[in-house]
Amino acid sequence: MKYTNTAGILKDRLQTSRIVADGAFGTYYAKIYDTNTIPETANTDASDRVERIHREYIEAGADIIRTNTFASNTVSLSKDFEIVKDNIRAAVNIARRAASGTNALIAADIGPIPAQSMFERDRVIAEYVDICKVFRELGVDIFVFETFSNLDEIEQAI
């Protein structure tokens, strides 16, 4: 596995400027495309839409774009983990295409996995670890864990 020197890049940039990240991908996607599906399905079904939004964020000044993977998990996608991995791979590839030729960095975006009971906790924790492994295998080394109220669930993944 080859990882970038993202920590060094971030340190250098922070010494001379501020770093701006994208935001509200899902909200923006829903506004533009008015679909009743989660935007993560577009990673494999309408990648041009995802790439367009990434490019717009970069053109607006984003130094970091987050992959369209907030809900890329087995529960939110209602798919097995092999399909989730394919979705994550597609999202990383789209973000890389959008960032190609720019100085934008790519961050893995990970949102909460909906769980119905405490009995599912171990499965959810293991899935976060597996999701992070996929991103690492793809060479992504900035991770954004969004909207978590309980850090215990992601501690092992971190």
Does the pLDDT value for residue 119 go beyond 80?
A: no
Q: Report how far residue 79's alpha carbon sits from residue 81's, in angstroms, rounded to the nearest whole number.
A: 7
pLDDT tens digits for 54-81?
A: 999 999 999 999 999 999 999 999 999 9
Single-letter code of the amino acid located at 63 = D
DSSP string, 50-66: HHHHHHHHHHTT-SEEE
* Predicted model pTM: 0.91
Q: Report how far residue 67's alpha carbon sits from residue 91's, in angstroms, rounded to the nearest whole number.
A: 6
- % of the chain exceeding 70 in pLDDT: 95
